[in-house]
Amino acid sequence: MFERAEVRVDLERITANIKHFKELSETPLMAVVKADAYGHGLVPVAKAALAAGASSLGVALLEEAITLRQAGITAPILAWLVPPGSDYKLAVDNHIELAASSIKALEEIGGVKSEFRPKVHLEVDTGMTRGGFLAEWGKIDGHHVANLDVVGIFSHFARADEPGEKQNQVQLNRFKEMVVTVESFGYTNIVRHLSNSAATLKDQDSRFDMVRVGIAMYGLSPDVKTLGDGASLGLKPAMQLRAKLHLVKTVPANTPVGYGATAYTTAETKLGIVAMGYADGIPRISQGAGVFIDGKRAPIIGRVSMDQFVVDLGAESTASTGDWVIIFGDGSTGEYTADDWGAASGSINYEIVTRIGPRVPRIYSPHVY
C-alpha cells in the first residue's frame, strides 16, 4: 500500500446525486464521465451511475468509450469529440454512438464498412460558437446521412449557469429551429438533448428528451457565484483528497519558505510538508488554500513545488510527521472544499477535481466521510 496521498470517492454520493436529478428532470439522464469521470475514476463511476438509473454515458474521446466497453459496459455511450480521421470503424463495431459536427465527419462515418450501421448524434452550434454545425448546416442533404442512423441532435449552452441570461433563450429557440430541419429529413423519432447540469437544475424548458449531467453528479455546483454551492443545490460532493505530512518541524520567525523565498514566517511556528505538488494536480498558485488538521485549517505558505507544498500549522499544533491531512472535502467539518481551491487558484472546481494526476490512487467506498 502506497500511503502518500489518495483520492477517496464515495460512490453512494454519486448515486444520490443522480437519483436527485432523475427526480428533478423526469427524463432519461446521460451521465457524463469524460476526463476520467471528472477525476473520480472512469469505470467505477460509470458503473455506479448506470446502477443509479442513468440510461446512457457521455464521453469526449473515443478511447474513453472503448475503455468502458472493455470493462464490460453495454449501455449506450456517446462520444462527442471524435474528429475526422479517427478510427470510426472501431467505434461502430463497438456500438459507440458518435457526434458529428461537419459534413466531412458525416461522410467518413457513413463510409465505414461494418456489419452495424453507424449511429450519429448531430451536434449543432446554437450560440456556444465552439463545436457543432453552423454554416454547413444548410448544406446537409439526404445523401450525407443515407448510410447512417441519425439517433440524436444536441447542442450546448454557453451561459446556463446564469439563469435569466438572454442568450439562453436565444440558444433554446435556435435549437428548436434546427430540430425542425432534422425532422424535415424524416428523422422524427430522435433524442433531443440540450441541458447540461446547470440547465437541468434551472431551466425546465430545455430538458427535452434527455439531460446530460456532468459536474453536478459529482456533487459540485456548476457555478458557485451564480447558483450557490453544491449543498445549497441539494448535492453531495463525492471526492475527498488527503495526503500525509511528510515532515513536521518547528522554525523560527522570519524564516524564508520555498522557491524564491516568496514567503517568510511571521513568528515561531510549526510547518508541515505535504507530499503532493503540481505534478499531482495541486495548483502552483494556491494562495488562500491549504489543508485541514487538528480541527482547523492550515494555510499554504510559499510556492507549491512539483511534489510537495508547505503549510503553516501554527505554533500550538499537535500534528506530527506521518499524520493525514485533508486537502479538500465536502466542507462539513470545516475543511477546504474544491470550490475553495478553485477560488484560491483563480479557477473553478471543475479544474481542481479533474487535474488530480494518476500518481494519486483512487479509493472507492460507499462511506468514506
Going by their DSSP bridges, the two strands 256-257 and 362-365 should be labelled as unpaired
The active-site residue, picked from 225, 249, 259, 264, is 259
Active site includes 278? no
Instruction: Tally Cβ neighbours within 10 Å of residue 36.
Output: 18
Greatest Cα pair distance in the chain: 77
Report how far residue 161's alpha carbon sits from residue 176's, in angstroms, rounded to the nearest whole number.
20
Task: Tell me the CA distances in angstroms from 96 to 90, 133, 166, 235, one per residue in order.
Answer: 9, 21, 35, 30
Owner of C-alpha cell 510547518:
271
Q: Can you say how many angstroms the Cα of residue 36 is from the centroid of all Cα atoms in its chain? A: 8
Report how far residue 286's alpha carbon sits from residue 299's, in angstroms, rounded to the nearest whole number.
10
Q: What is the 3-state secondary structure (H, E, C) of 107-138?
A: HHHHCCCCCCCCEEEEEECCCCCCCCECHHHH
DSSP conformation class of 237: -
Beta bridge partners of 365: 10
The active-site residue, picked from 34, 236, 244, 270, is 34
Report how far residue 117's alpha carbon sits from residue 99's, in angstroms, rounded to the nearest whole number.
14
Instruction: Write out the catalytic residue numbers.
Output: 34, 259
